[in-house]
Structure 1
C-alpha cells in the first residue's frame, strides 16, 4: 500500500459529485464510497482503513484485486501494441480465444469479443435471430442481462420497464423454490411445474416465432437462484424439441465463480453438463481489469456465417490490452488452482458458515449458493417469508461497512460473493462480521 493522503479522498469524492453521472441512481442523494487501492480480497480507503471486499465490486474481481500476473500482462501488451482494429489479426486475441474455447469444450468453435456482458448478450441474440430466421426472445422475469437495447428488455427485473424499446421479447417465470410461483412443495416439483409453464409459453407464443431461450445459468443479481434438479436438462430438451437456440448467460456466474470454469459444467446445476448453443461472458474472464466480454459460439452457429456476413461489430472488439488481461488471468487461475479454491472454500467454509448464521439469526430465511456465489434471503418473518424492508438492508450495509466489510446488497438480500482467491481465514473473519452486523440490526 503506497502512502495515502486523506485529502485525495476528499478531492476524489468532490470531483465525483461535481462531474460524474452514476448508473441506476437518483443523483442528488449519492454519497459514493471512495476506494484508494486494493490487493487480493481487500480494499482500502484514503484514510488507510481496510475492508474485506465481499462484493467483488460487481461480482467480477474473481482473481482478486491487483493480481500481478494480470497487471504485468497488461503492461507488457501496452509496451508492444496498445490498440488494433478488429479486422486485423493479433496474437493476444488469438491466444485469449484459444484459452476460452479450451475451457468451453469441443462443441464450440469461435469467440466473438465484445466490450462487456450487455453487448455480449446483444450479439448472441442477433446470432440466434439470424440463424433461425425467427424474432422472439424468451427470458425469465428474475434475470438481468445488461443495459443495452435488447439486453435490458430481455432483463426481467424493474430496470426493463422504463427501457422497453426493443421488439420481440417475452418473459416467463423460472424456478425459485423458496418463493415459488407454482405452489410447489419440493425442488423436483418446482422444476416439473416450471418446465410445464415454459412449454405452455412456447406453445402459446408459437414455436416457429421463437429464436432463443436466454437464461442465466444461475441467476445472479436476482438472488443466486441455483436451478432445481432436472430444470436445465428440461430447458435443453424443449429447445431441441422446438428448434430454439439456447443461450446461457455466464457473465456473472462464469470463470470460477461457482467453483467451475463455467456454471453449466458443474454438478450443482445438473447431473451432467447441459451444453448450450451460445455462451455469453464478461466479468470473471479477466476480473474486469480491462472492459471485455464475448460470445462463445457453437460450431453449427459459427459455420452459418462462413459465407454469410455477420452484420455486427465493435471498434474495440478483441482490444489487445483486454486480450492480454484474459491470457494473464486464465493462466494464473489455472496454475494457481484458483477455481479449485473457489469450490473448496465454498463447500467447506462459506456454505457451512452461512448455514450456522441462519440457525442463529431468524432474519436469514434461506441460504443458497455454490462456490463463492451465495445469497442470504432476509425476511421479517420466517413463517410467511415476507421480505425485510430496504431500510433494514440499508442499516445492515452500514453495520457491515463500519466493521470492515464491503457488502453486495440487492432487494431484500445480502449476497456473499468474495473473490475466488479468498482464504478460509478471510471467510472466518467475514462470518464474524456478518454475525455482529445481524446482531446489531436485530437489537
Structure 2
C-alpha cells in the first residue's frame, strides 16, 4: 500500500487521538528499525521521540519479535485467573529488578489502566478518598486518569469523578517558588503542607507524581524534593504513587527515575518501556505491606486481558534487552552529549530559551522575545512553531512539537554520532524560529 493510500483510508475510517480529524496529517509508517522509521516509499525519519517516548530499545529488535512469535505458538491467551509460565517469569523478573520491597504486580494494558488501578488500590488500602496530583501532570485518558491529570486534556472530561485535588508543581508554568533548587523544594513543600491541612490529611489516600514531569516540560524534581515529599506524606499517612509510565525503564539514566532521589514509592506504575511498545502492557507495582493487605481483602479490579501471555512475553524480552545491552548506562552516558548540544544551541540561537534533560529525556523551550515569552501560548500554537514542525518533518526528524516546546527523547540504543546527527537537524530548525524572534 502506498503512503497516500494509507493516509486516505486511515483518515476515512479511523479516528486519530487528541485531534480535530480534518486537521490531522498522519505520517505513513511501513517499517522501523533501530532509531529509524520508513514510509512505504522508503523515506527515512530519525525517531527523536521514541514515537510516544515509549520505544527505549529501538524498533524491530529480533529478540522481542522471536519471543512474541514463540509465545503465540505456545499459548496465545489465558484467562486472568490462570497461572502461566510467562506470568510467573515476568512477575519474578520485575520483583528482582525493581528496587526495595515492590514485589507484587498487577498487569493491565496501558499506563492509564495502571494509574486507574493505583487509584483504586490506594483508596481500598487506606479507606480514604481524595487523591492529590499536580497541574503539570499527565496520567492517562480514561475518565479517572484525565481528572487526575493537570494539563488541558482534562478540561473536556470535566466534571468528572470526585476526590481529585490539584496542586502546583515545584516548577509551575509562570510562578516561581524560588530561583535555587533548594528554595523551590522548601517553598513548594511548605505550600503543599498547607493544602494538605485545608483538605484534611485524614481524607487523602495518596499523592500521584510523574517522578520526572513528562509531556508538560521534562522537569526533573529539584534537589531534595523527593525526599522532602516522601517525609511530608509519611507524616500524614498519605501514600506516594510514582507514575513512571514515561520516565521508567532507563529513560533518565537509571532504571527508574525515583532512584535519583533515593526514595521508594508505595505504588509504582509503568507501561511504555515495559514492552518497548512491541505490545500493550501496563503494570502497577505494590510494596509488601499493601500487597499483604490484599491477601485477606478483595482487590476489586480486573480486565479480560489481565496478564496476557503475548504481552508478557514482549515485556520479558524487552526488559532483558534493555539490561543485557546496557541501554540504561547508554542513556546515562549520552546525557552529557545532549546537554552539550543543548548548551551549544542555546548560545547560538536567540529563539532557544532553555533545554532540559536527564538521561535521554529532554525538551527544548522556544521563546519569541528576550523576556522569555513562549513562542506559542499555553495550550496553543503559533506560526513560528508550525514552521518548525514542518521543517522537522521535511528534514526527516520525527518528534513532538507542543505549544512552545519540542521533545528530545530518542531510543536509548542511539549512538553519539546519531544523537549529534539529530541535533544538527534541530540546529537548522532553530534557524527557522530565529526568524520569528522579536529582537
Taking the TM superposition and a 5 Å limit, the aligned residue runs for 1:394-433 are 394-433=386-425
Query: CA offsets per residue over residues 254-298 of structure 1, 9 Å max, x none?
Result: 0011111101112xxx2xx11100000000111111001010110
Q: TM-score, normalised by structure 2?
A: 0.96
Specify the alignment match of 1:439 in structure 2.
431
Give the RMSD, CA atoms, in angstroms.
Answer: 1.2
CA distance in 1, matches of 2:61, 2:124: 40
In the alignment, structure 2 segments of 5+ residues that lack a partner are none
- 1:105 Cα deviation after fit: 2.3
Pairing partner for 1:38 from 17, 32, 49: 32
Pairing partner for 1:360 from 336, 348, 362: 348
Q: Is 2:382 the partner of 1:388?
A: no
Taking the TM superposition and a 5 Å limit, the aligned residue runs for 1:85-234 are 85-164=79-158, 165-176=160-171, 179=173, 181-234=175-228
CA distance in 2, matches of 1:53, 1:183: 35
Query: CA offsets per residue over residues 61-117 of structure 1, 9 Å max, x none?
Result: 111111111111101101111111110001111111111121112311200001100
Instruction: Report the secondary structure of 2:221's partner residue.
Output: coil
Q: Is 2:235 the partner of 1:241?
A: yes
- 1:399 Cα deviation after fit: 0.7
Q: Which runs of 4+ in 1 moved over 4 A?
A: none
Specify the alignment match of 2:271 in structure 1.
282
Contact kept? 1:122, 1:149, Cα under 8 Å: no
| Cα 1:264–1:68 shift into 2, 3 Å | same
CA distance in 1, matches of 2:386, 2:174: 26
Specify the alignment match of 1:3 in structure 2.
none
Q: TM-score, normalised by structure 1?
A: 0.95
Specify the alignment match of 1:4 in structure 2.
none
Specify the alignment match of 1:320 in structure 2.
309
Contact kept? 1:182, 1:193, Cα under 8 Å: no
CA distance in 1, matches of 2:177, 2:252: 28
- 1:183 Cα deviation after fit: 4.8
| Cα 1:183–1:127 shift into 2, 3 Å | closer
Specify the alignment match of 2:48 in structure 1.
54
CA distance in 1, matches of 2:174, 2:223: 15
Contact kept? 2:94, 2:103, Cα under 8 Å: no
Contact kept? 1:408, 1:417, Cα under 8 Å: no
Contact kept? 1:188, 1:229, Cα under 8 Å: yes
Pairing partner for 1:261 from 247, 255, 260: 255
Query: CA offsets per residue over residues 371-406 of structure 1, 9 Å max, x none?
Result: 110011111124x22110222222111111111111
CA distance in 2, matches of 1:105, 1:186: 30
Instruction: Report the secondary structure of 1:380's partner residue.
Output: coil
In the alignment, structure 1 segments of 5+ residues that lack a partner are 1-6
Aligned residues: 429
